[in-house]
Amino acid sequence: MTSLDPRAAERAYNESLIADVRANAGQATSGPFVGRQLALLTTIGARSGQRRTSPVTYTRDGDRVIVVASDSGSDVHPAWYLNLAVNPNVVVEIGGRTYEARAHAAQGAERDRLYAQHATVHPSFNEYVTTTSRVIPVVILERLTEEAAPSQG
């Protein structure tokens, strides 16, 4: 019996989730993300230079969108975070609308406040800090362009 490569399984799941979210005005219609605030974050690969889209939960802090690089509490940063550390210009899709943004990691007390705020909306993030020794980065996405509605076509 052959088992599916875990990375291939994760990619397949993410591709399915991304298609679902794009087809349903920014909402997941099945699985664990139903009813959650979900954004699609497109980064440029740090090594490949290719565009990579990742589904991420988000919260808002005023006009800013906040995402947390938890990788479900693993001991390594998610690939999307490593990508934006090299190229902070990203594309954000929320609620069927798309815009360009610039990403930067929050620091100190602001990071702690934003993490706590995020964990209030997404309670699983309270557990993630107990499963890793790394400081989980909190990323602020600041809009560079106006939101555009998806093309109808």
Give the list of residues 6+ apart from residue 130 with CB closer than 8 angstroms, or none.
73
Please report the pLDDT score of residue 142 as a whole number: 97
Q: What is the DSSP letter of 73?
A: G
In angstroms, the CA 91 to CA 148 distance is 11
The residue type of 15 is E
Global pTM reads 0.89
The token duo for 100 is: 């360009």
pLDDT in tens, the chain (153 residues): 455 687 788 889 999 999 999 999 889 998 889 989 999 999 999 999 999 999 999 999 999 999 999 999 999 999 999 999 999 999 999 998 999 999 999 999 999 999 999 999 999 999 999 999 999 999 999 999 876 655 444
Exposure pattern of 66-87 as b/e (b: 16+ CB <10 Å)? Answer: bbbbbbeeeeebbbbbebbbee
